[in-house]
């Protein structure tokens, strides 16, 4: 049995500054400002190259490749949909960082929490309305880290804190937020999908089991990323075996090895720069058993979007093609 699969890529694959003729050491904030100057130029090229590869769709990324900058580039959701249509592309999904979700969880008192939840709901509603008009059913977001990272570069965090059992009260609070924004999304005919970020409350198998048990399957689904789960030392095969029925989108990405979370330190983008050195395109050189991954999908008759992506690729078209070619040569046969 073959898999009913459509290929997409996350636009973060195109975020390497030298690919755009910019300095390799350009800080992320400066990269965002460069895109903000003329977002249409950047989006047009990313969409053109996704179409040239032969992809069926794209996944919007965090800023500067997200839905807000799409509107800055094209003016309206309808105008953006026309740009997708003329390239024979669709949107598989659209990712937003969990900044507002974290603000709601961190609120110091009920009044502040109500304000933060209102801001989260309003942002979700606007995002969902945009996606409905574009014809995309999946709004992707993340949870929060299992434990605090060290903000001081070179100083490790607590390994024991990351490996301790999850705080069930915290997981319940996260599930409450996800269920509420899931209802906001379903009001627009959409759903929210939780990306399995490495080191988050949705990366390790037992954590995902608990989070899925606490959330409404109608509004809260999963975006399973094999590379992120493996980077955290988890088992992506166990996750898809148990939960692929709630996963309309899968990220087919690998990693070189487990990277313990407590060893990451410094500001978020400094930690991210270390993490992305470990990621690999789908293929024989990583740690994910793609043959078993694919067989599980066949056994469960999975249908959905496969996102072939890798953060900030120096050669996006080549690396996306490498992953999909590996699938076609090695995995796609019945």
State the number of CA atoms in the 13 A half-sphere of 181 facing the CB.
34
Question: Tokens in use for 234?
Answer: 């988890």
Handedness of CA 168, 169, 174, 175 (dihedral sign): positive
Question: Tokens in use for 37?
Answer: 């100057």
The pLDDT tens digits along the chain (334 residues) read: 578 899 999 999 999 999 999 999 999 999 999 999 999 999 999 999 999 999 999 999 999 999 999 999 999 999 999 999 999 999 999 999 999 999 999 999 999 999 999 999 999 999 999 999 999 999 999 999 999 999 999 999 999 999 999 999 999 999 999 999 999 999 999 999 999 999 999 999 999 999 999 999 999 999 999 999 999 999 999 999 999 999 999 999 999 999 999 999 999 999 999 999 999 999 998 999 999 999 999 999 999 999 999 999 999 999 999 999 999 999 987 5
The DSSP bridge partners found for residue 8 are 57, 307
Task: State residue 4's pLDDT score.
Answer: 83
d(CA 143, CA 196): 8
β-strand pairing of 220-225 with 249-251:
parallel
Question: Tokens in use for 332?
Answer: 């796609």
d(CA 203, CA 230): 9
State the number of CA atoms in the 13 A half-sphere of 334 facing the CB.
2
CB environment 205-236: b (16+ within 10 A), e (fewer)? bebbebbbebbbeebbbbbbbbbbbbbbbbbb
Q: Whose CA is closest to 229, among 198, 257, 254?
A: 198
Task: State residue 334's pLDDT score.
Answer: 54
* Locus of tokens 């300095």: 23
Q: Please write the tens of the pLDDT for every residue from 139-177.
A: 999 999 999 999 999 999 999 999 999 999 999 999 999
**Residue 301 Ramachandran class (φ > 0 left, ψ -120 to 50 alpha, else beta):** left
d(CA 278, CA 12): 16
Alpha carbon separation from 45 to 6, 89, 177, 185, 215 (Å, rounded): 21, 14, 36, 30, 38
**Residue 43 Ramachandran class (φ > 0 left, ψ -120 to 50 alpha, else beta):** alpha
């Amino acid at each position: 049995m073959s898999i009913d699969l459509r290929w997409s890529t996350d636009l973060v694959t195109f975020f390497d500054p030298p690919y755009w003729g910019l300095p390799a050491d350009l800080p992320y904030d400066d990269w965002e400002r460069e895109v903000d100057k003329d977002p249409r130029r950047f989006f047009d090229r990313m969409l053109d190259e996704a179409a040239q590869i032969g992809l069926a769709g794209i996944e919007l990324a965090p800023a500067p490749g997200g839905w807000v900058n799409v509107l800055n580039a094209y003016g309206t959701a309808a105008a953006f949909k026309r740009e997708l249509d003329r390239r024979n592309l669709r949107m598989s999904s659209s990712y937003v960082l969990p900044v507002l979700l974290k603000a709601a969880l961190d609120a110091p008192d009920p009044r502040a929490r109500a304000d933060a939840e209102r801001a989260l709901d309003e942002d979700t509603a606007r995002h969902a309305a945009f996606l409905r008009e574009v014809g995309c059913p999946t709004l992707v977001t993340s949870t929060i880290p299992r434990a605090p990272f060290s903000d001081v570069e070179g100083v490790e965090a607590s390994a024991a804190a990351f490996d301790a059992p999850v705080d069930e009260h915290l997981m319940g609070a996260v599930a409450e937020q996800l269920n509420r924004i899931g209802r906001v999304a379903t009001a627009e005919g959409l759903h929210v999908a939780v990306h399995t970020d490495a080191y988050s409350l949705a990366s390790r198998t037992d954590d995902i089991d608990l989070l899925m048990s606490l959330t409404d399957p109608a509004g809260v689904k999963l975006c399973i990323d094999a590379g992120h789960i493996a980077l955290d030392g988890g088992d992506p095969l166990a996750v898809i075996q148990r939960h692929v029925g709630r996963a309309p989108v899968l990220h087919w990405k690998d990693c070189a090895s487990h990277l313990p979370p407590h060893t990451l330190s410094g500001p978020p983008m400094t930690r991210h720069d270390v993490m992305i050195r470990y990621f690999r395109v789908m293929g024989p050189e990583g740690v994910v058993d793609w043959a078993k991954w694919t067989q599980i999908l066949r056994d469960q008759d999975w249908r959905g979007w496969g996102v072939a992506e890798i953060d900030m690729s120096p050669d996006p078209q080549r690396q996306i093609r490498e992953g999909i070619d590996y699938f076609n040569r090695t995995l796609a046969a019945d």
